[in-house]
Amino acid sequence: MIEGNLMSFYQKLGLRRVINARSYSTKAGGSLMSPAVIQAMKEAAESFVRIKDLQEAAGRVIAEVTGAEAGYVTSGAAAGLTLGMAGCVTIFV
């Protein structure tokens, strides 16, 4: 059902479906979302929260799951790499 709606949307834009043989790739649309992720996004879209509070809560979950000291959600890989490099540079300054 969702896929059909998306394809009609993409078809309206004149786009064709591709087979993603690259795994996760931004050039191929990133990744398909599981029903659980879609449901969580739907629930999140029904409320407002302070982004600072959400970022802190997400950071705690990321740290717990990965065993890291802290975690941070970024808008994409490039932003994450930029923050990582900034952290490395501050060590040597």
Residue 81 domain-assigned?
yes
Cut 0.75: pTM above it: no
Domain count across the chain: 1
Most confident of 10-14, 17-21, 28-32, 57-61: 57-61
Q: Residue 68's pLDDT is what?
A: 93
Average pLDDT over residues 61-67: 96
Residue 24 domain-assigned?
no
Residue 23 domain-assigned?
no
Between CA 47 and CA 38 the distance in angstroms is 15
Q: Residue 19's pLDDT is what?
A: 82
Residue 61 domain-assigned?
yes
Contact indicator for 84, 70 with CB cutoff of 8 Å: no
Sign of CA pseudo-dihedral 60, 62, 91, 75: negative
Better-predicted residue by pLDDT, 63 or 22: 63
Residue 91 domain-assigned?
yes
Domain around 74:
50-93
CB atoms within 10 A of CB 9: 10
Residue 85 domain-assigned?
yes
Residue 70 domain-assigned?
yes
